[in-house]
């Protein structure tokens, strides 16, 4: 979904550091020793001109294909939001690829709405 990522093996999420950080909360959902979903919540500092000094960011959202549509993503988001509320966070954001309609539907179902659209273009004809 992202043509800007390298074709090589990359580490997209540094989960080990996330687990150790005080301002990040990693959630894993398993059933019978099989991971069926995951996500993390992270408290991030806002720019000075925003209303809230900090906001919650949700990332690493994953639901196994056979468990999609069963409320796993909403359960993870609700769990992370409870943690945000315990840390006095009032705003939660996330990013999702425009070419991922199932994820967009899941986030809308959980209460998110579109807010800002990031756009990009290639200046080089070598990238597709």
pLDDT 10s digits, 10-27: 777 777 788 888 999 999
Confidence check: pLDDT of 127 > 60: no
Cβ atoms of 55 and 93 within 8 Å: the answer is: yes
Task: For the chain, give the number of residues.
Answer: 128
Structural domains in the chain, CATH included, are 15-109 (3.40.630.30)
Report how far residue 52's alpha carbon sits from residue 15's, in angstroms, rounded to the nearest whole number: 26
Banded pLDDT at 111 (limits 50, 70, 90): very high
Average of pLDDT values for 38-55?
96
% of the chain exceeding 70 in pLDDT = 97
Tell me what pLDDT residue 112 has: 95
Cβ atoms of 42 and 56 within 8 Å: the answer is: yes
Report how far residue 19's alpha carbon sits from residue 12's, in angstroms, rounded to the nearest whole number: 15
Average of pLDDT values for 57-65?
94
Tell me what pLDDT residue 9 has: 82
Tell me what pLDDT residue 5 has: 83
């Amino acid at each position: 979904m992202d043509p800007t990522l390298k074709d090589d093996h990359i580490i997209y999420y540094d989960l080990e550091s996330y687990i150790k950080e005080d301002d990040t909360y990693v959630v894993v959902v398993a059933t019978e020793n099989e991971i069926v979903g995951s996500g993390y919540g992270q408290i991030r500092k806002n720019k000075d001109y925003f209303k809230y000094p900090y906001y919650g960011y949700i990332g690493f959202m994953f639901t196994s294909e056979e468990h999609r549509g069963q409320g796993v993503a909403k359960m993870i988001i609700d769990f992370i939001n409870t943690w945000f509320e315990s840390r006095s966070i009032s705003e939660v954001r996330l990013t999702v690829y425009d070419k991922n309609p199932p994820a967009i539907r899941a986030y809308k179902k959980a209460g998110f709405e579109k807010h800002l659209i990031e756009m990009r273009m290639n200046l080089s004809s070598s990238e597709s």
